A and B are shown apart, each in its own frame.
Chain A
Amino acid sequence: MYKVFLARRYMFVRPVSYLSMLVIGSAIAALIVVWSVMDGFLAETRELIRGTTADIVVTVLQSPEEPLERASLERVIRSTPGVTGAVSRLVRPAIFKVHGRDNLNIGTTMWADLNMVLVLGIDAEAEFEVTDLRDHLTEVDLESQQVDDPDTPFKIARNRILDRRLRMAALPRLLMGWELMDQLGLSKGDAIDLVTVPDNVAMFESDQLSSSSETFIVAGAFSTGHHESDMSRIMLSSDAFRRWSKTFHEVSEVYVSVALDGVDELAAIRGDLEAAFDAAGFTSRQVIVESWRDRHRILLGAVENERNILFIVLGMFVLLTCLITFAVLWTLVQEKTRDIGILSTMGAAPLGVGGLFTLCGTLISAAGCVVGLVLGTLIVVNVNAIKDWIENTFGVEIFRRDVYAFTEIPAKLDHGLNLMIVVVTIFFSALICLWPAWRAGRMNPVEALRHE
């Protein structure tokens, strides 16, 4: 009983104890903040990727001599157990310029990217069943970028076409990422020219590359929340895509949605799909089946790795800060040698004296953990308010949206992990306190009483 009482008195009257608590607390807070932000970053990245892709993507590789039929591919996919939907897309890189504007800056390294896009040929209705396209259309904030009707996104009234000369030309429509539109200062009704290289038979038979160009009217924007997608993607209807690109492809890739109970099941269904394609006579050279995780494994793996490495480094730092407890306790035992003798005269057993000093160290680290937990949690919960305050007060940009593709710093508190950090820290502190505590416990009471 006296151990808790005395440990509290010994520790909470010494400024050095508060300093130790602060150091341990700061280290734990840093660990919690870094883990929460990195974990939030990882979760947001996953979410973003999930929002711009499907559960499973089947990439179709083909030549003009052996074109693959979209219908047969989709049949195989839909007949696989667990699959809830499939939608085919056509994909083609392109260079574009705003119609009537001299803004084609492909001759500079700085602006070349701005004129290069990935063009997707889609069937809007089929997309609505499998992907989040409808959400992406309705989540556009600027009115000047919003499609007239999200159900028929490629439709725009003639009178909304800004260049009057193009109103009667029956030009095909397209959808652009909202950030690209914003960057170029485009509105719904503007026209752009898209240029690509057709992959028809002629292309394979000739050494000369030809180009295929067409003018499109911007019917509106989509917003995936993923910076890269919103900055460099354009969508056409699949019919318009085929006419423009003169492709022999019926399909470039198939987006597959599945009913999932867990990550393992996703891998299982991917395996089933591979088996189904194999059984249907499609070789692995013709179709590549990847889950969204497989497809983005490098990015996700890098973020996850970075998170884990930071955790290990900061975790070691936290454990190192526990050594401060050791130093404080070692000094305390030295300082309290006579007290140890006095306690012995009152019947305190060596084990009890050792326990008292172990408790002293544990109390410091436990209090430090509480400080760290509260501080870390407060920072994580208010991370964006803190970011705004720093940016406004000091005029520095500490979180660049264009770099991280998020509007805010993502942070996700992991209460289980935080609890584990606290438990491990306290355990480690108690462990390293055993040495000074053992030294205190085995002290000869007679010599301790004579200590000057």
Chain B
Amino acid sequence: MTPTVSELMHDEGTDEATAVETRVPADVAALPGDGRELVMRARGLMRRYRMGHEVVEVLRGVDFDLRRGESVAIMGRSGAGKSTLLHLLGLLDTVDSGSLEVEGVDTTRLSTGARSRLRNDAVGFVFQFYHLIPELTALENAMLPLRIASSLGSWMANRKRHREEVRALLVELGLSSRLFHRPNQLSGGERQRVALARALVNRPRVLLCDEPTGNLDERTAEGIADQLFDLAQEHGQTIVLVTHDGELAQRADRTLVMTEGRLGLQDEG
């Protein structure tokens, strides 16, 4: 039987915790497992940080499978390790031990450059605070991943096509009158839509969203969430959503809870 979050919490610090730790991720990884292609596969992810003389174990052996087109919400208290996991899945950070495969490629063996290329190709990020480049317009911000992916030759050859694609995406997101506005001329919701467009523009297989609606009012947040899920579904993209918003999490196919460096299923009770 799969342990619940409550059980995990209860077992913490006991002798049984280790046993749970090994059992739970295996179960987590097994869901939903409906035959869809595996996009990411994490096993035994460990991450420690040194804070002064103290070593803090942020992730304590996370096992995690992501399948094409599914959406997974990760919840948990602040400091539980959600963002760290997201950074590891997005190849921004490296694991201390364990393995992470992206589309069958063991990323722990990749060079920094290869990790960057894979990140550009396979992963898109959406952050709570948008993280747009202030000097660029909405259109330019959204086009940036394409520029990063292109060599001079390929950019010159595909520039017009890229521009039209990104423009169409922004129009689809309701930003047709904001294409040439800079971030400081946009509202929070508009900025987040630009960030969403930027995350989607490279057609990544996985969208990693860190509190994507955390800085927005309820109505705007709902609109952004709609667009996020609709577009991801439209393009068959996998979503990993770190959030404190229970309603948003409910829209995901499954919800996992991060507790003190361990990942478990949401407590149904």
| Chain A contacts to B: CB under 8 angstroms | 1-2, 5-6, 9-10, 13, 338-339, 341-352, 444-446, 449
Contacts and interface: CB of A to CB of B under 8 A. Distances in A.
A371 B118 CA distance: 42
Contacts of B131: 338, 341-342, 345, 449
A1 B145 contact: no
Interface in B107-145: 112-113, 116-121, 123, 125, 127, 131-133, 135-136, 144-145
A1 B121 CA distance: 16
Interface string B146-157: 011111100100
B87 A347 contact: no
B253 interface: no
Contacts of A352: 116, 148
A444 B91 CA distance: 12
Interface residues of B, number: 30
B133 to A, nearest CB: 6
16 contacts: A1-B147, A1-B151, A1-B155, A342-B133, A343-B144, A343-B148, A344-B119, A345-B92, A346-B119, A346-B148, A347-B116, A347-B121, A348-B148, A445-B92, A446-B93, A449-B127
A13 B137 CA distance: 13
Nearest to B121: A347
Contacts of A444: 93
Chain B interface helix/strand/loop/mixed = helix
- For A343, A346, A348, the residue with the greatest tally of chain B CB atoms inside 10 Å of its CB is A346
B242 to A, nearest CB: 13
Interface in B84-120: 87, 90, 92-93, 112-113, 116-120
B83 to A, nearest CB: 8
Contacts of A351: 113
Nearest to B204: A347
A14 to B, nearest CB: 9
- A-B complex: 4 closest residue pairs judged by Cβ atoms: A347-B120, A349-B116, A2-B147, A345-B125
Contacts of B198: 346
Interface in B151-195: 151-152, 155
B152 A1 contact: yes
B133 A339 contact: yes
A352 B119 CA distance: 14
A348 B92 CA distance: 11
Nearest to B130: A342
Given A1-B151, A9-B136, A339-B133, A349 B121 contact: no
A23 to B, nearest CB: 23
Contacts of B144: 2, 343, 346
Contacts of A446: 87, 92-93
Given A349-B113, A350-B112, A5 B147 contact: yes
Contacts of A341: 131
A13 B135 contact: yes
A341 B93 CA distance: 11
Contacts of A13: 135
A351 B111 CA distance: 12
Contacts of A10: 135
Nearest to A338: B131
Contacts of B121: 347
B149 A347 contact: yes
A444 B49 CA distance: 13
Given A345-B119, A446-B92, A2 B148 contact: yes
A263 B201 CA distance: 67
Contacts of A345: 90, 92, 119, 123, 125, 131
- For A5, A6, A342, A445, the residue with the greatest tally of chain B CB atoms inside 10 Å of its CB is A342
Contacts of B119: 344-347
Contacts of A1: 147-148, 150-152, 155
Nearest to B155: A1
Given A344-B92, A347-B120, A446-B87, A9 B152 contact: no
A349 B151 contact: no
A376 to B, nearest CB: 31
A341 B92 CA distance: 9
B156 to A, nearest CB: 9
A346 B127 contact: no
B140 to A, nearest CB: 8
B133 A347 contact: no
Contacts of B117: 347, 349
- For B118, B147, B149, B151, the residue with the greatest tally of chain A CB atoms inside 10 Å of its CB is B147
B250 to A, nearest CB: 27
A10 B133 CA distance: 10
A150 B78 CA distance: 103
A99 B148 CA distance: 90
A10 to B, nearest CB: 6
Given A345-B125, A347-B119, A349-B117, 20 more contacts: A1-B148, A1-B151, A5-B147, A9-B135, A9-B136, A13-B135, A339-B133, A342-B131, A342-B132, A343-B148, A344-B116, A345-B131, A346-B198, A347-B145, A347-B148, A347-B149, A349-B113, A445-B87, A449-B92, A449-B131
Contacts of B132: 342
Contacts of B118: 347
Contacts of A449: 92, 127, 131
Nearest to A5: B147
Contacts of B155: 1
A226 B100 CA distance: 84
- For A6, A341, A345, A352, the residue with the greatest tally of chain B CB atoms inside 10 Å of its CB is A345
A248 to B, nearest CB: 83
A348 to B, nearest CB: 5
